[in-house]
Amino acid sequence: MSELPRKAVARTARLAALPLGFAGRTAVGMGKRIGGRPAETVMTEVQQRTAEQLFRTLGDLKGGAMKMGQALSILESALPEDLAAPYRQQLTRLQDSAPPMSATTVHHVLATELGAGWRRQLVEFDDNPAAAASIGQVHRGRWSDGREVAVKVQYPGAGDALMADLRQISRVARTFGGMVPGIDIKPLVSELQARVAEELDYSLEAEAQQAFADEFRGDPEFKVPQVVAHSDRVLVSEWVESESSLARLIAEGSPGERNHYGSLYVRFLFEGPARVGMLHADPHPGNFRVLPHDPDALGGLGVVDFGAVARLPERSLPHSIGRLIRIAMRDDYADVLAGLREEGFVKPNISVDPAELRAYLGPFVEPARSETFAFSREWMRGQFQRLQDPRQPGSTLALRLNLPPSYLLIHRVWVGSIGVLCQLGVTLPFRQILTDALPGFAED
């Protein structure tokens, strides 16, 4: 693919065709079942073909379509196993790659953004992208001072395509929900739409990345690349040499590797706000890179892509989050309810019973109750199924809760990172991690 597909009619048609294709395959599958084929076999075939079409289309279109696919991929562990298995390969691929744009298009963007003499600064430049994502792709090069660099180039027309895709996906959100069972698509689309402007501004991203790079300079466990140069649509950073990403560890890593890097992953997300005053808010595993290390010792974690960050007013995660989790661990849900009302999660005119709140929130507090906790797809899947079953206590409470705007990205990171930990299948000293890094949690 030479560039981002830009014709709105063509992009809309491809997105609109996805639910139609799913409906057609389901109808054909019903016919096969009537004809005597086992239901399980037929549905597996339908799901496999649906996964291939869904994520191939989202990846090919890039823009908001691919960003939607990447957001879905974080929540893959919530799907029932018989549905998740056919999707998993396509989801993992989408987390870590995308079809590239042509060298001609890349050169044109570089000349526009860095000037006609851009090759005097980028004395070496690999036309083959090292990575490609939803609104840009990364190339390896060498800067004029000799440093190896990563050159992030935004796709032409990315902004228009991003918004058009998300509007179209929002219109067909109900049908998309049938294609990826168990996940509510519409709130996810709304959250993505709210972040578009910031993620398209590479100058804003450069500012955030450099703040993290300054704070983590020389850190023995984490590496954030220094910013070398930037414009609104090009970002040049020091190259981070890595062996793979967390997305690959999900599929191929040993238990020891997954535990080690999963611990670093969640610690970075929690420690970053206290050290920088900002939260890295794009927790999908392709942004976290396994650094080279000795054969007899596991190494550190490189962190890239700071297009989505939460600039925290108090320069740390809200103290109330840790405090309320600690109170919930003491099973004092009347106090938890009072705290949620104070923070705006429960509006004054909404009636909530503390016992109902216990039934809703109690299982989510489970990872912090013991010295170690084993995150798994089974645990994550159980939480989603519990909340979607109207027969379960507290299952309808979510409809009466409110998410204050200041918690929007924090909620995204919390849910997304727990999803990644469950995909990794890690066993972590989660309570100690919260004690060390989450404000308010360690207090009595």
Q: What topology does CATH give the domain 103-157+198-238?
A: Phosphorylase Kinase; domain 1 (3.30.200)
The whole-angstrom separation of Cα 161 and Cα 179 is: 23
**pLDDT for position 294:** 87
**pLDDT for position 407:** 84
Conformation bin of residue 137: beta by default, left when phi > 0, alpha when psi is -120 to 50: beta
Token reading at 240: 């981070």
**pLDDT for position 382:** 84
Token reading at 197: 């402007």
Q: How many CB atoms lie within 10 A of CB 18?
A: 21
The whole-angstrom separation of Cα 39 and Cα 17 is: 25
Tell me the helices (H) and strands (E) count for the chain, helix number first: 19, 14
Tell me the β-bridge partners of 270.
none
> Beta 222-223 vs 301-303: how paired, if at all?
parallel
Domains of the chain, residue spans: 8-97+160-183, 103-157+198-238, 319-437
The whole-angstrom separation of Cα 81 and Cα 47 is: 12
The pair phi, psi for residue 277, each rounded to 5°, is 85, 10
Token reading at 166: 């998300």
The pair phi, psi for residue 278, each rounded to 5°, is -135, 150
The whole-angstrom separation of Cα 311 and Cα 277 is: 7
**pLDDT for position 397:** 83
Nearest by Cα to 103 from 58, 64, 153, 63: 153
Nearest by Cα to 100 from 159, 181, 155: 155
**pLDDT for position 163:** 73
| Residues, the chain | 444
**pLDDT for position 35:** 42
The pair phi, psi for residue 285, each rounded to 5°, is -65, -15
Query: Which run of H or E residues covers position 223?
Result: strand 222-223
**pLDDT for position 26:** 39
Fill in the amino acid letter for 366: E
**pLDDT for position 387:** 74
**Residue numbers in the chain where pLDDT is lower than 70:** 1-99, 133-134, 165-166, 168-195, 388, 444
Q: Any long-range contacts for 410-415 (C-beta under 8 Å, 24+ apart)? A: 410/279, 410/310, 410/317, 410/318, 410/321, 412/191, 412/281, 412/283, 413/269, 413/279, 413/280, 413/281, 413/283, 413/310, 415/75
Nearest by Cα to 53 from 180, 143, 197: 180
